Structure 1
């Protein structure tokens, strides 16, 4: 990690289109937000969906930027070095790799991509690495962490400067391995271009982020970039869940992937599977022998996550018994079927499911537990793919006994407009909304709209009876709601505990 570096050092890696100004300028920091620039910094003009960084070059220079990296020429003072490149984000990643001392060189790095399961797989791989005696850092949706240090995660995969700076800090503190989620946005935007992946894991691909990617082929192409980078390397290994149709397709397009799943032909395959509320037991066959899997996770989709994590461990050369121990010892993943203790005699869960397929996977799994009544509270986020709203509504109505439709992160949309789009899907299964009083009777399928999320959770707790199963879906580990541009504190787990405590207090003599 460097305090400063000459721009000429970076240019050796870049092949820029054009350079103007002093090539020996000293760079003391890397910035993509002009408001953060300090004297001696390099400013990268990034094109975003809403804002073009080229608009802020003047502000960056006024704050002391000595180097500007851009995709279109822009006038700068003579003492400022202008570097014209094809892709500013890729250039920034390569600058950051050099500036922060190439922090992923020489350590095992596992990248996990897919629509669902990324976070769970990173927790599982982290556990395997710890059993194997390593000290892994983890970057993902829940947080960025190493040892006792935890940083809030603003993005699943941060911008390359933030990513590599954080990794350099973790390396300095003793991290000797890295597990990270690689989102489709990050792969498309070259945020991971400065990371040396040894193993890439593909969990699955279902409709999500189509507001950004446009259609599934573009979404798949973004995910595929992780494995193209592995293919270009010398020792990279792809671990692919071939239970998923896109995974099977990807495996067919790669050289010598390590495949996993429950289907015949998977190299890492689960047999004699036994699932219950207590977890999963199975015999797992691998190219290096078999082991008995025992995990507190539940559901087929979590079995696939476990097999993906096992594949990552084996791809890294970790012993089979350590892989098995790591899977068994993995801690509860925050907001993934996270249990909330209660005295009602019901099972109360919080889950991050916020796509149609994720919600269906969760509800199918919970339905198999044969609860007295399955109650689902969920909403959909604003400023995101609208096509999933009625689809999620239909899934919730088909698999639940009572659906409480509420708000999620409305962002800049009208929460009631979002709810109306969800309602369209719900009504394909349950034509009419019930009254609040009717939610207390268990007979028949019902749905109710309660726009305020706190009130929706309170209602669900109020109607809960022994033997019921309540799942609050969509936000999982998140401890905030986004209303307009404001982020307010809101945690489904806290709200459930508060509502349950209130109910218990009111029931006390």
Structure 2
């Protein structure tokens, strides 16, 4: 594509050395640049793309887009813009021929529930005869194509490239989890959303956002008109106070929840070990929902997904059948089979609110003993650590405090931040014999593998074990290194060892 065809999208403040040149590819990583490339110098939290302009030029970049004036060779075009991230998103949309304009696109944002709702919406679209692709926390996928997900929402260039690949492979729709980081960093600026979903907002990512207002403002951007274009149809959970606030600003929204004024509202429900049954009133009439998913928070997820079905004008049968077809979501109260007569579940809950919802769900099922194994991520918001400790201490009979992804922090220091929350609800540290005898309290076992082994050895018939924090992840980050570690695999190995050595 000619550079001249891309420049109008950049809204340049200043240009120098621009000439007729063919652009072979777009880049924001100088290490990937090849001859004839267009390099975008993106500002970042950890580093700044302007530092690597010389590397990009040396690798053959034909043009550079930046937010600062640069001293470049005369053979390289210099284009200065106000916002390099927005320029990259706009250029990527043009370079890949605006792939999402030809697709039905559903974006899902909120602190919790995004992944589960993405699986539910995918099932709805499939039931309606569509061919949906999905990008989110677990993976980026369509049909037999599946790519690892380094971020919940890809960088704008990668997102447009993926959408183009999926469209060419036969996808006609795209379901996206949209993070607050992505919205703040303009990663979805070039996407044509048809429906935008708001799940809820609870404290998270406050190491990135200044406060909850800043966090809410970032999430709200998904529901605004992009570049003066058409705003997506909003689906909003009004049982959440931030959702109710957002709905007040968007009178055309399809609201959902238990609220009597919600357009998709719960009439009655039964939630148990067998799953969820619910009667739901919608503008399409009454729905009978049946799902094997567990818990009241998944009932909220089902209501959001049903509202998306209404927004997309799907039939009653398509909505009911689609939602019934999702039997499990990776790392979201995902069961691990065993012959102990106990229930073992892995969940991604890594905030106080998510952990509370998961434990309340399991507690309502009246297990003999509820054990919760959890930790907190390093180099992330320290404020949530005692909150998670308090939640685990209050709702679980036994809390096992361990490591999550410590990253560059000392695991013991992270645990020290968690323990005041447990002590705030009068939980005492136990020794192994006390834990085996059934005492209420907590154990500290920093090694997550050993902690899982101990938890499995403690299980008796009728008990429930929740291993929380990592969910679908198959790695642990220690320092800067990713080590293979999957809670589900670790549980199965611990079960096998217990069988060998009863």
TM-score, normalisation: structure 2: 0.99
| 1:332 equivalent in structure 2 | 328
Q: Report if the CA contact (8 A) 2:283-2:310 is conserved.
A: no
Distance 1:28 1:230 in 2: 27
Shift of 1:235: 6.5
Shift of 1:38: 0.7
Q: Report if the CA contact (8 A) 1:124-1:326 is conserved.
A: yes
| 1:151 equivalent in structure 2 | 147
Q: Report if the CA contact (8 A) 2:293-2:327 is conserved.
A: no
Three-state SS of the structure 2 residue aligned to 1:57 is helix
| 1:446 equivalent in structure 2 | 441
457, 466, 486: which is aligned to 1:462?
A: 457
160, 176, 180: which is aligned to 1:184?
A: 180
Shift of 1:424: 1.2
Distance 2:227 2:60 in 1: 41
Q: Report if the CA contact (8 A) 1:25-1:67 is conserved.
A: no
Q: Deviations over 1:279-314 (max 9, x none)?
A: 111101001111101011111111111111111111
Distance 2:125 2:280 in 1: 19
Q: Does 1:473 align with 2:468?
A: yes
Distance 1:282 1:232 in 2: 40
Three-state SS of the structure 1 residue aligned to 2:424 is coil
Q: Deviations over 1:23-52 (max 9, x none)?
A: 422211111111111111111111111101
Three-state SS of the structure 2 residue aligned to 1:74 is coil
Three-state SS of the structure 1 residue aligned to 2:200 is coil
| 1:429 equivalent in structure 2 | 425
| 1:251 equivalent in structure 2 | 247
Shift of 1:231: 10
Q: Does 1:201 align with 2:197?
A: yes
484, 495, 500: which is aligned to 1:500?
A: 495
Q: Unaligned regions of 5+ residues in structure 2, if any?
A: none
Q: Report if the CA contact (8 A) 2:378-2:408 is conserved.
A: yes
Distance 2:406 2:399 in 1: 19
Q: Does 1:220 align with 2:182?
A: no
| 2:38 equivalent in structure 1 | 42
Q: Equivalences for 1:20-419 in 2 at 5 Å?
A: 20-229=16-225, 232-234=228-230, 236-419=232-415
Three-state SS of the structure 2 residue aligned to 1:284 is strand
Shift of 1:430: 3.3
Going from structure 1 to structure 2, the CA distance change for 1:29 and 1:328 (only over 3 Å counts) comes to same
Distance 2:136 2:449 in 1: 27
Going from structure 1 to structure 2, the CA distance change for 1:219 and 1:106 (only over 3 Å counts) comes to same
Shift of 1:203: 0.3
Distance 2:171 2:427 in 1: 55
Q: Deviations over 1:340-360 (max 9, x none)?
A: 011111000000000000000
Q: Report if the CA contact (8 A) 2:374-2:401 is conserved.
A: yes
Q: Deviations over 1:154-183 (max 9, x none)?
A: 100010111111111111110000000000
Q: Report if the CA contact (8 A) 1:69-1:85 is conserved.
A: yes
Q: Unaligned regions of 5+ residues in structure 1, if any?
A: none
Shift of 1:429: 1.6
TM-score, normalisation: structure 1: 0.97
After superposition, the CA RMSD in angstroms is: 1.1
Q: Report if the CA contact (8 A) 1:199-1:230 is conserved.
A: no
Q: Deviations over 1:230-280 (max 9, x none)?
A: 795437200000000000000001141000001211110111111101111
Distance 1:402 1:421 in 2: 18
Q: Report if the CA contact (8 A) 1:230-1:236 is conserved.
A: no
Three-state SS of the structure 1 residue aligned to 2:224 is helix
Bigger shift: residues 497-506 or 133-142: 497-506
Distance 1:36 1:432 in 2: 53
Q: Report if the CA contact (8 A) 1:128-1:322 is conserved.
A: yes
Distance 2:217 2:491 in 1: 39
